[in-house]
Amino acid sequence: MRIVRNTVDVTNVALSGVGGQGVLTLAEVLAKAAMLDGHNVRVGEIHGMAQRGGHVLCTIRIGEHAKGPIIDPGTAHLVVGFEPIETLREIHLVAPNGCVIMSSHILLPVAVSMDQGTYPDHDAIMSATKRFTTNVIEFDAMELAEKAGSPNSLNMVMLGAIISTELVPVTKDSALQSLYDTVPQQFQQVNSAAFNLGFAQVGGMLRL
């Protein structure tokens, strides 16, 4: 058997957020969508202690030669941050020409409320992000999720945004199909509305 050069054809996506925001669900929906489009995938996730309202990182790798689940620093084509400082926490993963999608809605860590740390201001967050890549797409995904009908649909807003960038080899149809396959029926309308709002939001920003 031969080892083929295998790291060039793989698309790396890192999802960073807070436990409870639906990060793992988004990873599963996106991975299943990639499979519908005929791709090989790997998803890396951490369960248990790591999920109790703390920082969550989930990785998705799409491409024939994706083997392991892990994305090294400087190799993510897309970093998707569900919250500003959670985006910063994993920003080192982004490739120099990679893209960042960041929701601007802030979830204050308990440490800040207990006066054990200060939340950086918006300018500091943006300038720190841009030291890693200049391709930053920022919008309030929580506002769109609420508009769609539930703050719980935030992750599907992010899915729409991801597909809209065209950086991931997944079609819009497959993404929606995967959403319908995964989300219970009573929540499908809200979640597909959220998907479409995220898709349109990023589409509009990229056209500008």
Partner 1 sequence: MRLCSLYHKIDTQSPVQALLGPVLHRAHDNLTKPTELLEDNPGKRILLLGNEAIARGVLEAGVRLVAVYPGTPSSEIGNNLTAIATRIPDFYFEFSTNEKVAMEVAGAAAVAGVRSMIACKGPGLNVAADPFLSLAYVGVRGGMVVVVADDPSMWSSQNENDSRYYALMANTPMLEPSDPVEAKSMLIEAFDISEKLELPVLYRTTTRVSHTRAPVELGPMRDRVSTVKFDKDPFRFVPIPSVAYKRHPWLLQQIEKARRISEETSLNYRIGEGELGIITSGVAFNYAIEAVSTLGLKAEILKLGMTHPLPERKISDFLQEHTKVVVVEELEPFLETQVRRVAQLNHIVVTILGKEQGYFPRTYEYTPRTVIEGLAKILNRNTPINWQQIDSKAEELSSLPSRPPLLCAGCPHRATYYAIRVATRGKAIYPSDIGCYTLSIAPPLETADILFDMGSSITTACGIARVTDQDVVATIGDSTFFASGLPGIVDAVYNRHPISVVVLDNRTTAMTGQQPHPGTGLTGMQEKVSPIDIVDVCKGLGVNYVRMVRPFDSMATLVSEIREMVAWVRENKQPAVLVSREPCALLAAIDRQQTGTPPHPYRVNSDLCNACKRCLHRLSCPAMYFDSETNKAVVDETLCNECGICAAVCPQGAINRED
Structure tokens that stand for 107 in this block = 């979830």
Query: Using CA atoms, how far apart are residues 161 and 15, in angstroms rounded to an integer?
Result: 12
Residue from 13, 23, 31, 76 binding partner 1 (CB under 8 A): 31
Residue 134 binds to partner 1 (criterion: CB under 8 A): no
Q: Which is nearer to partner 1, 74 or 204 (CB)?
A: 74
By CB under 8 A, the residues from 140 to 199 that bind partner 1 are 151, 182
The helix (run of H) or strand (run of E) holding residue 32 is helix 23-36
Minimal distance in Å, beta carbon 127 to partner 1? 11
* Strand-pair partners of 17: 56
Residue from 51, 104, 171, 188 touching partner 1 (CB under 8 A): that is: 51
Point out which span in 53-61, 97-105, 157-165, 195-203 binds partner 1 (CB under 8 A): 53-61
- Under 8 Å between Cβ of 28 and 161: no
Cβ nearer to partner 1, comparing 5 with 207: 5
* Token pair in block for residue 158: 């992010």
Nearer to partner 1, 49 or 208 (CB): 49
Selected binder of partner 1 within 37, 104, 119, 143 (CB under 8 A): 119
Burial grade of 19 (CB within 10 A; 0-12, 13-18, 19 or more): middle
Beta carbon nearer to partner 1, 55 or 77: 55
Six-digit token pair at 100? 């960042």
Tell me if 109 contacts partner 1 by CB under 8 A.
Answer: yes
Q: How far apart are CA 92 and CA 169, in angstroms?
A: 23
DSSP states of 112-179: HHTTSS-PPPHHHHHHHHHTT-SEEEEE-HHHHHHHHT-GGGHHHHHHHHHHHHT-SS--HHHHHHHH
Beta carbons within 10 angstroms of residue 131's beta carbon: 8
Question: Would you count residue 127 as binding partner 1 (CB under 8 A)?
Answer: no
Check binding of 105 to partner 1 (CB under 8 A). no
Q: What is the contact mask toward partner 1 in residues 71 to 100, using x (rule: CB under 8 A)?
A: -xxxx---------xx-xx-xx--------
Name the residues that contact partner 1, by CB under 8 A.
Answer: 1-7, 18-20, 24-25, 27-28, 31-32, 35, 40-55, 65, 67-70, 72-75, 85-86, 88-89, 91-92, 108-120, 128, 131-132, 151, 182
